Amino acid sequence: MRQTAGGYRAPSRVLVIGSGLVGMSCAWSLQEHGVEVCVVDRGRPGAGASWQNAGLVSPAMSVPLPEPGILRYGVRAALSPRSPVAFVRSADPRLVRFMAAMVRSCTTRAWRRGMDAYRVLNEMAVESYEHQRAGGVEVELTRGDVVACFEHPAETGAFLHEIEAVVAAGQATEVALLTAAETLAAEPHLSGKVAIGVAVRGQQYLTPQQYVPALAKSVRDRGGKIVEDTVVTKVERRRDVLVATGPQGELEADAVVVAAGAWAGGLLAGHGVRVPVYGGRGYSFTVATPEPFREPVYFPVARVAVTPQGDRARFAGIMEFGSPDAPPQRARFHHMVRAVRHLLVDLDWSTMADQWMGARPVAADGVPLVGATATPGLYVAGGHGMWGVTLGPLTGSLLAVQIATGATPAPLAPLDPLR
Ligand SMILES: Cc1cc2nc3c(=O)[nH]c(=O)nc-3n(C[C@H](O)[C@H](O)[C@H](O)COP(=O)(O)OP(=O)(O)OC[C@H]3O[C@@H](n4cnc5c(N)ncnc54)[C@H](O)[C@@H]3O)c2cc1C
């Protein structure tokens, strides 16, 4: 511990549980403050949702998930196994608790409150990537318009309504309505079935399988330790130290950050965090493309995003609430293909590979949980749901300030894990 000028006892050694992009960003930013870090993971860096997601760094689309429209999806999900929003059939009481809390947050008022928090974060999101790059993280962001595509003009309503709400919340967002011809010109892989497009200007994307290892390398190069294949089952305070316990033994530190993604709930029990976090399982795969996609494409009705990845395109989608440890439902990959195949051309679907399932850490009220818990020295960074790639580096830098100085940066106030 180090005493700061204001009398705050700043931790010298911090243990981060979880080496996804949120945990690694926390570790990296703590190093900026001269803190010694150890990151522990039950697998390897990027073993969770951070691995093969869509990779969009898209502040314009980064919004709280619970909103009144989600309830309509819920009814559809109960009726159709092909719905892009679904539930794994389960008797897990945590899922029931999570869903009840999420339904309570599906109000316009709660969404607006959440959006006020997102707006402030979204404005700083890209800058924090630039900061990491300047500090030696080899992360490559590509700028592009996200082209949202619709088969029928009437389908644009919900998407445009969301963009309008983002703008009404005060977030500068530039969109353009595209005719069918303009949409196909923007992205030649689209088929003539696309009737209308909405270009969300000036977003960014990255390849997540490159980003997480690049972060890990930088953390190690700066003297940080990353311990793989080590599970933590409990964190407790014993006098002046925090102790993380698991089958492999005990690890001690001055402070601990729980960045365990969709698994965080178990570690946070008993530490005053009431907002449930649960797995929002998503699926992705890649397909070879003779010509690279020019822009990221999003099909809002199917809820499938397509991101360029060199000579392949990465398809990502589905929001299936369920345990992160339950096996993937293979049929989901076919549902995704069936939902978008007719809207695309020049893809050799027989080259489909890299099938992957990852569980987004979804906070029931749609707002990330970042800050101190009720146990002194124990912090949480997570619950970013669909937008962890966009907000991960910023989360790390804001939380590191709080841990290193004892002062809570203003953008973190609405993310208070004890709310
Ligand atoms: C299909 C899909 C597409 C997505 N697309 C986008 C996108 O385009 N843009 C965007 O911004 N976001 C996107 N996301 C969301 C984003 O991927 C997540 O929000 C983000 O990766 C969460 O990062 P994390 O570090 O909190 O969690 P994770 O990456 O899941 O990391 C948690 C880590 O903790 C470890 N762990 C868990 N429990 C323990 C334990 N008890 N002991 C030790 N280690 C433990 C796990 O092994 C894991 O490595 C997408 C997600 C999915 C699934």
Instruction: Give 24-39 pLDDT, tens digit per residue.
Output: 999 999 999 999 999 9
> Are 417 and 372 contacting, i.e. CB atoms less than 8 angstroms apart?
yes
pLDDT band at 3 (very low <50, low <70, confident <90, very high): confident
Any bridge partners for residue 3, and if so which? 9
pLDDT band at 1 (very low <50, low <70, confident <90, very high): confident
pLDDT of residue 81: 59
Q: What span, in angstroms and rounded, lies between the C-alpha atoms of 209 and 356?
A: 12
First to last CA, the chain: 28
Phi/psi at 236 (5° precision): -145, 160
Q: Check pocket membership of 322 for ligand 1, CB cut-off 6 A.
A: no
Helix 156-168 / helix 108-134 crossing angle, nearest 10 deg: 80
Distance 360 CA to ligand 1 centre (A): 5
pLDDT of residue 403: 98
Question: And the tokens for 363?
Answer: 């906070």
Q: Is the pLDDT of residue 211 over 80?
A: yes
Distance 330 CA to ligand 1 centre (A): 20
Specify the amino acid at residue 9: R
Specify the amino acid at residue 387: W
Give the domain CATH number at 293: 3.50.50.60
Q: Check pocket membership of 382 for ligand 1, CB cut-off 6 A.
A: yes
Beta carbons within 10 angstroms of residue 153's beta carbon? 11
Q: Is the pLDDT of residue 410 over 80?
A: yes
Q: What span, in angstroms and rounded, lies between the C-alpha atoms of 397 and 395?
A: 6
pLDDT of residue 73: 62
The residue-averaged pLDDT of 134-143 equals 96
- The model's pLDDT over 167-186, given as tens digits with 9 standing for 90+, comes to 999 999 999 999 999 999 99
Q: Is the pLDDT of residue 61 over 90?
A: yes
pLDDT of residue 92: 81
- The model's pLDDT over 123-132, given as tens digits with 9 standing for 90+, comes to 999 999 999 9
The residue whose CA has the least distance to atom 48 of ligand 1 is 48
pLDDT of residue 77: 57
The residue-averaged pLDDT of 346-359 equals 96
Question: And the tokens for 418?
Answer: 């004890």
pLDDT band at 89 (very low <50, low <70, confident <90, very high): low
Number of domains in the chain: 1
Residues 6+ apart with CB under 8 A from 164: none
The residue-averaged pLDDT of 258-269 equals 97
Q: Is the pLDDT of residue 84 over 90?
A: no
pLDDT of residue 7: 87
Candidate from 286, 386, 394 with most ligand 1 atoms within 8 A of CB, to mutate:
386
Specify the amino acid at residue 4: T
What average pLDDT is seen over the chain?
94
Among residues of the chain, what percentage have pLDDT more than 70?
95
pLDDT band at 83 (very low <50, low <70, confident <90, very high): low
Length of the chain equals 419
| Among 56, 103, 306, residue whose Cα is nearest residue 204 | 56
Phi/psi at 64 (5° precision): -60, 140
The residue whose CA has the least distance to atom 41 of ligand 1 is 232
Whole-angstrom CA distances from 162 to 72, 124, 166, 361, 380 are: 15, 20, 6, 22, 29
pLDDT of residue 244: 98
Residue 384 belongs to what domain range? Answer: 2-415
pLDDT of residue 67: 85
Q: Is the pLDDT of residue 78 over 60?
A: no
Q: Check pocket membership of 231 for ligand 1, CB cut-off 6 A.
A: yes
Pairing of strands 277-288, 255-258: unpaired
Shortest-distance atom of ligand 1 to CA 46: 49
Q: Is the pLDDT of residue 204 over 60?
A: yes
Question: And the tokens for 327?
Answer: 């096996």
pLDDT of residue 395: 98
